Amino acid sequence: RREAAEYYRGQRVPERMEEALNALFPLRPQDLYGELANYFSNYSKAPVICKLVGRKVLDGVGQPTLEVEINCTVKNCEKRICSTIMSSHSQIPENAAHETVEADEKERNASVNTAVEWVNQSLNALLRDLKPTDQCQVDKMLGEYFANKVEEKKKIQKQEEGEAEATLALTPCIPSPEPSVKRKGAGPGKKLSVAEKPIPPAEPAEPVLCGSLAIGGASLAIAKAGATVSHIPLYSHIALLKHDQELPEEITLPLPMVTLLNCEKISPTKLKLVKEVMLIPPVQLSCKQGIERILDIQKEMTRLLEVPGKMPTSQLGDSKKGRAQSSGKKGPPPFLKRISHLGCLTTGCDDVEQLLHLMQTACDNIGLQLGTDMYLAINCAAHELMDYNKGKYEILTGTFKSPDEMVDMYVELTDKFPFIIALIDPLRKEDRQQWSNICRALGSKCYLIAEDAATHISKLKTDQNINTPTCSGVVLKYINQTKVSDFIELTGILDGQRHITILGSPDGESSDDSLVDLAVGLGARFIKLGGLSRGERVTKYNRLLAIEEELAKNRTLREAELEFVTFPEESQPEDQLSDVLPPPKED
């Protein structure tokens, strides 16, 4: 009994019990023991991570991906706090060969299996007993773990290369036949096909370490756990991390870039230049009002595409091809009507003006005007258009343009259709001079955004002189080994360089809506989530609406702004074109 009394006195239990009883008696709460539990919970130890669980699950397109679950010790009991599902991302273009797609799927499956193993074994032991609110420490340890895995991989590759060289040295050398001299020149009456200007070769795809999903999944899951145990929304938790634990007085919602049409580049129609047509509501509207307006446009567009061949040709543009169709020789192109994996209508056109006139028709029919009541963004995905044999982009079937001609085409297009306020990936990232040219020509009235043309996140962080094109902003995707701290650091860099941040969802989206909280907490200018169909995408729009309602209720919602950047007319030296990042810091 004496030991018990000393133990409780050492923990100040009698003193705090008396304080609790004195504080609660005047209130006379209906649930006295509930109030006592709440009172004493303020003195309990902070939750700590006790277990990570990794699972192999499916994403929104049926591809394998990773789920990470966080369990914490809360008041002496193990408790499941939250989980997150990573979105899958592939660098394989949609027109890739069947063998390439199969190899990518096999590699993805192996990567998910490795990620599950990392989470359940190494990361489970590594992060145990850490506080879920200590995001910086968690991400530092995850980064060190991943760096060690990269070094292990390099050692294995070096060893395998050494063994291959040794095997090659033992192989007898068989002389190859000399090439025929006659093949050196062109045949009589033939001209050599030479590109107007040599184009920079495509940069190799960023290597993805098998299992890297585990790093991004663990980091995001722990951020969600930190918000949960702190009893605040995830976007507030992210904002606190970004602003050194000082929550901004007002928060701006990112403007949604809502995909209305997915123009497949493998469709039977001729247009290849456009991959996605996106709608951006004006800043004067609330997010709810903007989405409702976009839904009206989507319904009208669905009606227009309902019956193939019934679309009035006059509404599809006045090109020569359009006039030929109106003569009765040939009907309009076969519009498709199905839902893409991006959550939007799939269609095709024979040229870009036909597509833009179709958009104008849909808006006119419901009393809206493009350029005032709604704006357009176009995802060109130019890296999928390059014909390396010709050194040109194939914008229509059989129609090619050089990088310089592409710049002229975009200038002409935005002059004719000024309601286009954003172009995503209008050029490959290797065409750096043309990126500079298009930014100087259009930057003051149109956002020139790099998505696949942007440098990989890992290189943006580590290599300050990386070959990044001049642009208005960058689309960031939370994939692979990306950590929450990486996003916080990168958005701070982009903010300092007056570049806009767009958070985008990968093609293989999951039902996890954390991306929306990340975008709000980080202060992204836009958020690119796909269309207003498919549950995994609609879930995110619903989360965006819920955050808007909560911020409006708390009177902390600030109206968004559209500010374009005027780029200098003078051409910059080659080593200054990578202006997405500041100069390297001195140690």
DSSP classification of residue 309:
T
Q: In the chain, what is the greatest distance between 2 CA atoms, to the nearest angstrom?
A: 111
Greater pLDDT, 303 or 561: 303
Range list of β-strands (E), 484-586: 500-504, 526-530, 557-558
Write down the pLDDT at residue 179: 52
Q: Which of 56, 386, 338, 370 is nearest to 211 (CA)?
A: 56
560-576 pLDDT, tens digit each: 888 887 777 754 443 33
Contact 499, 525 (CB under 8 A): no
Write down the pLDDT at residue 317: 41
The least confident of 311-315, 440-444, 505-509, 574-578 is 574-578
Q: Catalogue all structural domains in the chain, each as residue range(s) with its CATH number.
A: 1-43 (no CATH), 47-157+209-231 (3.30.390.10), 246-306+336-558 (3.20.20.120)
Q: pLDDT band for position 93 (50/70/90)?
A: low
Helix axes 13-24, 2-10, angle to 10 degrees: 70
The least confident of 190-199, 222-231, 320-329 is 320-329
> Tokens 């969600």 belong to which residue?
224
Burial (CB < 10 A; 0-12, 13-18, 19+), residue 286, is middle
Greater pLDDT, 571 or 536: 536
Write down the pLDDT at residue 105: 87
What angle is formed at CA 502 by the lines to CA 534 and CA 444, rounded to 5 degrees? 125
Tell me how far CA of residue 291 lies from CA of 14, 264, 397, 412, in angstroms.
57, 24, 34, 30
Q: pLDDT band for position 433 (50/70/90)?
A: very high
> What secondary structure does DSSP assign to 460-474, as a single string?
HHH-TT------SEE
Instruction: State mean pLDDT over 525-537.
Output: 94
Tell me how far CA of residue 300 lies from CA of 21, 359, 557, in angstroms.
64, 10, 31
Q: pLDDT band for position 183 (50/70/90)?
A: very low
Write down the pLDDT at residue 315: 44
139-166 pLDDT, tens digit each: 999 999 999 999 999 999 888 888 777 7
Write down the pLDDT at residue 196: 58
Whether 468 has a pLDDT exceeding 70, the answer reads no
Annotated catalytic sites, by residue?
Answer: 480
23-33 pLDDT, tens digit each: 988 989 999 99
Write down the pLDDT at residue 460: 66
